């Protein structure tokens, strides 16, 4: 870890991010403040997933266009692309808990407004576009604030566990949310899903208000000053252990995570399964993602070799799923896609946070979220157009191909930066392929 924001840094080998190996899978939940945060997020994340499913299906119902679904997704993530770094600067300056109270309340209002329009029968597609953009603007500050606030609640020793449990939380809600949304959409309409989401923000707001400030790990906030945005960019650019994982998740987020576009098209056009099929696909991805998050919570390290291997597997599985001939085979492939997609996200998130100076964490995590989520406005309309023009199979396969190519290229870059070489040999009667430091080879030769 750097000694400070301005400290020079030489290229480092592919890092291992140490955390406590003795921690249980749920060790960070022993901390009261994090437990309150976690419970609030369970409720709110369920509502968020219900709104996502309802929003995509409403747009498809109003327009009949996968490109329109892509535009909705793009509008939700466009503010992160344009303003994400400025959000990180604000987060480094502001106290995290009051900031989160404001952002959570603003997203609640947006959900309630969309519920009113839909239940009254006056909703138009441009209303959904405006609501998606409003959520995106709140996310500019909310995402880096939530990411960096985790370390203030649990401290560095429990950070890997807490980040993994956050992802497990999100994916658990992803299991429940789409299923409930599917029932509500087919039974009483999309408006009730929006209403539940708006009301669900009561839980995280209450959790934030009940926290004990004296038990937080105080992090010195960055003072106001000129050049803080450029300082954050220079900080990341000078550290290979930060820049390359961020570049990789940028490619994966832009081209590999356009599931609203692909899965709605597969459910509607390929398998003719309707809203129930779309909900099932999302639920199965969530089941795999939950498994991936719990496995990550058990790991004591966040290695970049795990990151690149998971990204390769993720892209390969997307290509295989794109060619799947049957409904159930396609559906079952969503589980391993969820496992490896979540592994990419958690491993990159933890490695970047642990390698970052606390005073810079807001800006660095804003950049991380900007390229991971903010790339979607660039990728979603393109992927939506390709899906409409050439079919869902071509669109899905393209996302997988880009993900594989990015993982292979950046994996090779990390090997070179880390001074590694490929070692092929035998260990206890079994073949073993691994990367080892080149210095080890030279030392063995000299001996």
Whether residue 134 contacts residue 110, with contact meaning beta carbons closer than 8 Å, is answered with yes
Distances in Å between the alpha carbon of 299 and those of 159, 165, 348, 437? 12, 12, 14, 23
At residue 272, the pLDDT reads 83
Only one residue has tokens 């592919």, namely 14
Check: CB of residue 336 under 8 Å from CB of residue 417.
Answer: no
* Cα separation, 198 vs 207, whole angstroms: 16
Q: Which residue pairs from 327-333 have beta carbons closer than 8 angstroms and sit at least 24 positions apart in sequence?
A: 327/271, 327/273, 327/277, 330/266, 330/271, 330/281, 331/280, 331/281, 331/284, 332/284
Helix residue ranges per DSSP H, 26-124? 32-63, 66-93, 96-119
The number of helix segments (H) and strand segments (E) in the chain equals 17, 2
CB 207 within 8 A of CB 36: yes
List the one residue out of 139, 90, 368 whose CA is nearest residue 250. 368
Beta carbons of 225 and 81 less than 8 angstroms apart: no
DSSP class per residue in 221-235: PPPP-TTHHHHHHHH
435: its two tokens: 């990367």
Q: Please state the pTM of the whole predicted model.
A: 0.67
Q: Which two tokens stand for residue 379?
A: 């990728």
The pLDDT, as a whole number, for residue 421 is 56
Buried b / exposed e across 335-364, counting CB within 10 Å, b at 16+?
A: bbbbbbbbbbbbbbbbbbbbbbebbbbbbb
Residue pair 349/147 in contact (Cβ under 8 Å)? The answer is yes
CB atoms within 10 A of CB 293: 25
pLDDT of the residue at 189: 81
Longest dimension (CA), the chain: 80
378 contacts 256 by C-beta, under 8 angstroms: no
- Compute the distance between CA of residue 80 and CA of residue 377 in angstroms, rounded to an integer: 9
pLDDT reported for residue 427: 61
What's residue 436's pLDDT?
56
Backbone φ and ψ for 227, nearest 5 degrees, come out as 80, 10
* Closest to 373 measured CA to CA, from 232, 287, 291, 258: 258
CA distance 261 to 241: 32
Task: Tell me the C-alpha distance between 377 and 140, whole Å.
Answer: 14
Q: Which portions of the chain are predicted below pLDDT 70?
A: 1-23, 171, 174, 220-227, 297, 299-302, 374-377, 417-447
Question: Mapping DSSP to helix (H, G, I), strand (E, B) and coil, where does residue 301 land?
Answer: strand
* Element (DSSP H or E) covering residue 401: helix 392-417
Distance CA 220, CA 57 (A): 44
What is the structure's pLDDT at 396? 93
- Identify the pLDDT of residue 319: 95
Element (H, E) at 138: helix 125-154
Question: Given this model, what pLDDT does residue 318 score?
Answer: 95
Please tell me the predicted confidence (pLDDT) of residue 26.
79
3-state class (DSSP) for residue 437? strand
């Amino acid at each position: 870890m750097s000694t400070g924001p301005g400290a020079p840094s030489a290229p480092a080998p592919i890092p291992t991010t140490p955390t406590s190996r003795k921690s249980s899978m749920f060790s960070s939940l022993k901390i009261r403040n994090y437990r309150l945060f976690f419970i609030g997020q369970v409720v709110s994340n369920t509502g968020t997933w219900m709104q996502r499913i309802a929003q995509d299906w409403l747009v498809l119902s109003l327009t009949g266009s996968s490109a329109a679904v892509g535009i909705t997704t793009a509008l939700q993530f466009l503010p992160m692309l344009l303003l994400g770094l400025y959000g990180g600067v604000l987060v480094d300056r502001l106290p995290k808990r009051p900031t989160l109270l404001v952002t959570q309340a603003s997203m609640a209002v947006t959900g309630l407004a969309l519920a009113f329009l839909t239940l009254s029968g006056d909703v138009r597609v441009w209303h959904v576009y405006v609501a998606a953009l409003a959520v995106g603007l709140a996310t500019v500050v909310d995402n880096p604030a939530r990411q960096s606030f985790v370390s203030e609640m649990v401290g560095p020793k429990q950070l890997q566990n807490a980040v993994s449990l956050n992802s497990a939380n999100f994916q658990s809600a992803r299991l429940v949310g789409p299923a409930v949304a599917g029932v509500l959409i087919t039974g009483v309409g999309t408006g009730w899903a929006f209403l539940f989401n708006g009301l669900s923000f009561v839980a995280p707001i209450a959790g934030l208000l009940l926290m004990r400030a004296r038990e937080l790990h105080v992090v010195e906030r960055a003072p106001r000053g000129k050049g803080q945005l450029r300082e954050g960019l220079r900080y990341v650019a000078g550290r290979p252990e930060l820049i390359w994982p961020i570049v990789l998740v940028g490619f994966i987020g832009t081209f590999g995570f356009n599931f609203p576009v692909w899965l709605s098209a597969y459910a509607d056009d390929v398998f003719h399964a309707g809203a129930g099929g779309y909900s099932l696909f999302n639920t199965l991805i969530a089941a795999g993602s939950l498994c991936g998050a719990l496995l990550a919570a058990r790991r004591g390290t966040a290695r970049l070799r795990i990151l690149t291997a998971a990204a390769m597997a993720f892209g390969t599985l997307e290509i295989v799923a794109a060619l799947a001939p049957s409904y159930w085979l396609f559906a079952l492939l969503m589980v391993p896609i969820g496992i490896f997609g979540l592994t990419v996200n958690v491993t990159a998130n933890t490695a970047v946070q642990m390698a970052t100076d606390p005073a810079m964490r807001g800006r660095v995590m804003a950049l991380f979220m900007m390229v991971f989520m903010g790339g979607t406005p660039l990728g979603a309309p393109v992927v939506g157009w390709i899906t409409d023009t050439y079919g869902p199979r071509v669109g899905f396969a393209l996302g997988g191909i880009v993900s594989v190519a990015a993982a292979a290229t950046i994996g090779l870059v990390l090997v070179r930066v880390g001074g590694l070489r490929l070692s092929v040999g035998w260990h206890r009667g079994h073949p073993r392929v691994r990367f080892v430091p080149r210095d080890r080879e030279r030392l063995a030769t000299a001996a």
